Amino acid sequence: MTTRDDSKTRLDALRVEIERRNPAQPEFHQAVHEVLETLAPVLAARPEYAEPGLIERLCEPERQVIFRVPWQDDQGRVHVNRGFRVEFNSALGPYKGGLRFHPSVNLGIIKFLGFEQVFKNALTGLGIGGGKGGSDFDPHGRSDAEIMRFCQSFMTELYRHIGEHTDVPAGDIGVGGREIGYLFGQYRRITNRWEAGVLTGKGVGWGGSAIRPEATGYGSVLFAAAMLRERGEDLEGQTAVVSGSGNVAIYTVEKLLALGANPLTCSDSSGYVVDDKGIDVDLLKQVKEVERGRISEYAERRGASARFVPGGRVWEVPADIALPSATQNELDENDAATLVRNGVKAVAEGANMPTTPEAVHLFQRAGVAFGPGKAANAGGVAVSALEMAQNHARTAWSPARVEEELTHIMNDIHTTCHETADRYGAPGDYVTGANIAGFERVADAMLAQGVI
């Protein structure tokens, strides 16, 4: 009989081997380690998962595509960026995951995001596999024409690897509705097909879904609300700190306000704003979505209730709820200690892996309800899958229907994570619950389909 100690020894050896075979990819190592360290009780209880190299296959992408992206700026200079698409696991359905355009993008980051996406997508229960892609291209400061030329060049290679039954990209950091439009236009131009289901995050007027831009932020708030309900509380009247000021952060603020909470902060790379009256979401949208300005401009225009803190840490602001919504590893152990000292009750990750492992463990030891990204920010990909369903049926659902579906999915994810954690002897541990629940769904499908 396989014991937990036997399983842990095997998983530790596998982690060492994965790090050896994937050098200089710390984010990927971190994501794999976080999952593997929770799986020992699963392997002890279900030894069939250990036999056919299943975990080894799960940690190795099915396909990794890297390509050159040449494009011309408005002055006629030619630039060369690098494009990526990592198709990680398709046991549950076509690969599904966003495209990120940011200077920090490299293969290790795309692999970490793709690996996380496998479990996140499994938790939705919507029949989608996991993948991720992007480029080290920086869209900031570029004209619409430059963005268009880059997207067209990027899609000229990517189109041969995607399709509604194969791989369905969406947006992520640096890729919003504008970029999805240019990418879709080039795909249509090259293939001569109106294949609406090949990309999600499209405009509502041409195949997109209502609530898609809002979905990730809304979903993380809904997950936070479910964690609080489990403890006999609700969001109304609670204060919240939110990091970031992009799509996820904006709609996190919007949903907090709708549910009666008071979001106090938002941030960008220059610093953060704290607004004692609560963030004015309409002004935030104007500054960041329309004018593409800096967060300091919000404080300048908001008045006496708001102040800008250059270069500061948003986690310095006392609040009941924390929602990291910017980027990976933005909330470290020192930040977690500050939040705990200030009485934080719940943390829900709106971004992908924004909390370092040390900070996660500190929250758990302090009894803070912690919702990991693969559960808490699954709302975006859930509505992407609903967009795919609408595309397949050539129909469009009302915003009310989509939001109702999203609420149902997020509550189901919370219940699944909570019950799975209980089943494996880790009550209240949403990290363990999310990892094991996602793993079991993917692993069962992989076992059923043979060694491929």
pLDDT at site 3: 81
Structural domain includes residue 442: no
Q: Are 74 and 55 members of one domain?
A: no
Examine residue 93 and state whether it is found in any structural domain, yes or no.
yes
Of 136, 164, 195, the one marking the end of a domain is 195
- Asked whether residue 261 falls in the same domain as residue 286, the answer is yes
Q: Are residues 342 and 237 in the same domain?
A: yes
Tokens of 431: 């990290």
Which candidate in 96, 111, 120, 132 is catalytic? Answer: 132
Is residue 118 included in any domain, yes or no? yes
Helices and strands of the chain, counted as H and E runs: 17, 13
363 shares its domain with 232? yes
Q: At what angle are helices 215-230 and 247-258 packed, to 10 degrees?
A: 50
Does residue 313 sit within a domain?
Answer: yes
**Cα–Cα separations (whole angstroms), residue 225 to 235, 279, 347, 415:** 6, 19, 10, 12
Domain of residue 8: give its range. 4-59
Question: Is 277 considered catalytic here?
Answer: no
Q: Are residues 135 and 32 in the same domain?
A: no
118 and 143 Cβ atoms separated by less than 8 Å: no
| Spatial CA neighbour of 150 closest among 98, 208, 99, 201 | 99
279 and 350 co-located in one domain: yes
125 Rama sector, left if φ>0, alpha if ψ -120 to 50, beta otherwise: left
pLDDT of residue 153: 98
**Structural tokens at position 346:** 């719940």
Positions in the chain short of pLDDT 70: 1
Identify the CATH number of the domain in which residue 162 sits: 3.40.50.10860
Sign of torsion over alpha carbons 349, 353, 356, 357: positive
Residue 301 lies in a domain: yes
Q: Let me know if residue 85 belongs to a domain.
A: yes
- 3-class SS at 151? helix
Domain count, the chain: 3
266 belongs to a structural domain: yes
Which residues are CB-contacts of 229 (< 8 A; sequence separation ≥ 6)? none
- Contact between 377 and 244 under an 8 Å Cβ cutoff? The reply is no
Where residue 281 sits, what CATH number does that domain have? 3.40.50.720
Which phi-psi region, left, alpha or beta, contains residue 69 (left: φ > 0; alpha: ψ -120 to 50)?
beta
Say if CB 78 and CB 70 are below 8 A apart: yes
Which of 337, 371, 405 is the C-terminal boundary of a domain? 371
Residues 140 and 89 occupy one common structural domain:
yes
217: three-class secondary structure by DSSP: helix
Instruction: Specify whether 186 is located in the same domain as 316.
Output: no
Q: Could you read off the pLDDT of 353-396 as tens digits, one per residue?
A: 999 999 999 999 999 999 999 999 999 999 999 999 999 999 99
**Is 146 contained in some domain?**
yes
Residue 322 has a pLDDT of: 98
Who's near 342: CB < 8 A, 6+ residues apart? 318, 319
> Are 224 and 149 part of one and the same domain?
no
Same domain for 229 and 362? Answer: yes
DSSP state of 172: B
Q: What is the DSSP annotation of 189-209? A: HHH----GGG-SS--GGGT--
Do 123 and 40 fall into the same domain? no
222 and 191 co-located in one domain = no
Among the three residues 38, 59, 80, which one is the final residue of a domain in this structure? Answer: 59
